[in-house]
Amino acid sequence: MKLFGIPNCDTVKKARAWLTVNGFEYEWHDFKKQGLSAEQVQQWTDAIGWEVLINKQGTTWRKLDAATKASVIDANSAIAVMIANPSIIKRPVLVTDTQMQVGFKPELYQALLK
């Protein structure tokens, strides 16, 4: 499994700690440092929808200019904004061989990783 996020995010810290305490091994991907490919973001968008991926409650979204916010109207425009501003993606993103989860709630991780 692979966990995507940024290390200074509190929710990512909680998810990483939970995975470690519960004995799950995972590959870590810091998408602020390592970036994200358009193909990766496209796969996520296809799997769960761009509306789930974009964190409109976060600081990065609030700092975007009005024109950029208004331009996010479909998957292609959302992907372009996510590639240009990876911190806009709701974190963390946990990807297993068969599923993915955006955000962190212990009960959802438990169910996903049975």
Query: Which two three-digit tokens encode residue 105?
Result: 């709630």
**What pLDDT does 53 receive?**
97
55 given a catalytic annotation: no
**What pLDDT does 114 receive?**
78
Q: In this structure, what CATH number is given to the domain that contains residue 70?
A: 3.40.30.10
Per annotation, catalytic residue among 6, 9, 52, 83: 9
**What pLDDT does 64 receive?**
96
Rg of the chain over all Cα atoms, to the nearest angstrom? 14
- Asked if 54 and 91 touch (Cβ cutoff 8 Å), the reply is no
Nearest to 87 by CA among 18, 44, 35, 37: 35
For residue 12, give its domain range: 2-112
Give the span between the Cα atoms of 57 and 55, in whole angstroms: 5
Mean pLDDT by 10 residues, the chain (114 residues): 95 97 96 92 96 94 96 96 94 94 94 84
**What pLDDT does 32 receive?**
87
Number of structural domains the chain divides into: 1
pTM greater than the 0.85 cutoff: yes
